[in-house]
Amino acid sequence: MNATNPTQNVETDRRVRTYGQLKLELIQRGLFVPQEILADPDVASGVCPGAPGEEVALTLAENFIVKAVLKADAEGRMRLKLENGALLLDAGDGDEEVGIIPLPAFLKNLMQKRTPLSENICLDGYCLNIFLRAIDKGKKLSLSQDSILSIAQSAFEEGAADLVQLNMDYCDDKDRGFQLLSPVVEAIKKKFKTFVALKGFPPQEKRTIDLMYAAGFDLLDFPLAGFAGVDPAGDIVSSAQVQESLEYAVGIFPQGTVWTELVLGPEPLDIIKKKIDHLTSRGVTPLLKLMPTSMHTVKDYWRVKEVARHLGEAAQRDKLPLKWLYPNCRSLSPLDVQYFTDDPKSAQLSAKPVYRSRLGKKASEGFAALRRKLRIKDVSDSYESAGL
């Protein structure tokens, strides 16, 4: 791509619409679903109840998904159509066939009740996300361990998830709530054969990251893009602290399992590319969060496409293993850059996620268990020698 000629690139994007462009437009513009289409069984399986503000998960291609917010009809809004039994996305300049991802029964039942539990559970592809925070002055989690295990069991029994991610909100404690999460991840590991990810704030003391791995976490995500729930007047974790913790975690966790999140803002592309290069050179896998904006333009997609191209090249140059990534509803990762840069007919994932292969998953689980045992011994020895 000739990055010095944005006009030429924009015109090219108009001629060949990639799946990545559709994903970005859906996130930015939202989706309108006419009432008569909501009655279709396939559509109804993926919405509950289908009102504005709800999110619906669409599959644009194999292993390429997006969550779009349902909105009222308006000029320029993307909308669903149903023709001859095919579900079509009307993007304003042509139709694209898409699919709706059905909600599993357990999740649909929870959404109908609209309980605190239902508000803190969601699926992102085949990752079960559970959102947690410390309550009662930091003495317990917002969801009980039994509730978490019950939800995970329902997801696994329905085949709706292949891994679990615990998303921990900001906590004042030095370990950012790890002491509350530790028994939960241990219980999940004891009951299910699955990988468990942690997304949250880095602890004040880096040795806690050793304990996170020893407790059973397989994947770690400390976002550089910021977090929800931060008290502006409180103890905010700086970008430098996050960066230091990510680089430390790379030495603890297996290669390719330490991630962070960036947001493509208005800064020059050269600065964004330097951030990506800095992370990949240190073994950290960057994910780019795709954010809704007040106005959508084709130029927005040109920027995302150029960053996607660079992200793929950086991951390849620094030999980042991509098998630990999974198709993500709202992010661009090195796993799916081809959907943003290549012709839709040839685009595919850059690697096969370990979660989708029974043989690969079993082998990786065994390797992770062995590596963790060795690592726990190292951690234990180092703490004993330090008198801890």
For 357-385, the pLDDT digits (tens) are: 665 555 455 545 555 555 555 544 444 44
Give percent above pLDDT 90 in the chain.
64
For the whole model, what pTM was predicted? 0.87
Check whether residue 86 and residue 109 sit in a common domain: no
Residue 271 and residue 128 in one domain: yes
Closest CA to 335 of 20, 55, 12, 2: 20
Handedness of CA 319, 208, 151, 372 (dihedral sign): positive
Same domain, residue pair 68 and 116? no
Do 253 and 302 have their domain in common?
yes
Residue 27, sorted as left (phi over 0), alpha (psi -120 to 50) or beta, turns out to be alpha
Please tell me the total count of domains within the chain: 2
pLDDT beneath 50, residues of the chain:
1-15, 228-235, 363, 367, 379-388
Residue where a domain stops, chosen among 100, 133, 155: 100
C-alpha span between 50 and 38 (Å, rounded): 7
End position of a domain, from candidates 85, 100, 115: 100
Closest listed residue to residue 345, CA positions, set 166, 96, 159 = 96
336 and 360 fall within a common domain:
yes
Q: With contact defined as beta carbons under 8 Å apart, do 263 and 292 qualify?
A: no
- The pLDDT tens digits of the residues spanning 223-259 come to 997 654 444 444 478 889 999 999 999 999 999 999 9
Same domain, 132 and 199: yes
**Same domain, yes or no, for 320 and 369?**
yes
pLDDT at 14: 47
Is residue 175 situated within a structural domain?
yes
What is the pLDDT at residue 298? 64
Which residues have a Cβ under 8 Å from the Cβ of 141 and sit 6 or more positions away?
Answer: 132, 133, 134, 135, 177, 180, 181, 184
pLDDT in the model for residue 94: 79
User: SS3 of 382, please?
Assistant: helix
- Answer whether residue 109 is part of any domain: yes
Residues 200 and 146 in one domain: yes
Is 6 contained in some domain?
no
Extract the tokens encoding 237.
């974790």
What domain range includes position 308? 105-374
Q: Domain check: are 169 and 63 in the same one?
A: no
Query: Is 41 contained in some domain?
Result: yes
Q: Is the dihedral of CA 19, 156, 353, 345 positive or negative?
A: negative
* CATH code of the domain containing 289: 3.20.20
Task: Tell me if 9 is assigned to some domain.
Answer: no
Last residue of a domain, one of 100, 118, 136: 100
Instruction: State the Cα–Cα distance between residues 374 and 184, nearest whole angstrom.
Output: 22
Residues 126-151, buried b or exposed e (16+ Cβ, 10 A)?
Answer: bbbbbbbbbeeeeeebbbeeebbbeb
What pLDDT, on the 0 to 100 scale, is given for residue 361? 56
Would you say residue 57 lies in a domain?
yes
Same domain, 46 and 119: no
Whole-number pLDDT of residue 299? 74
Instruction: Report if residue 84 sits inside a domain.
Output: yes
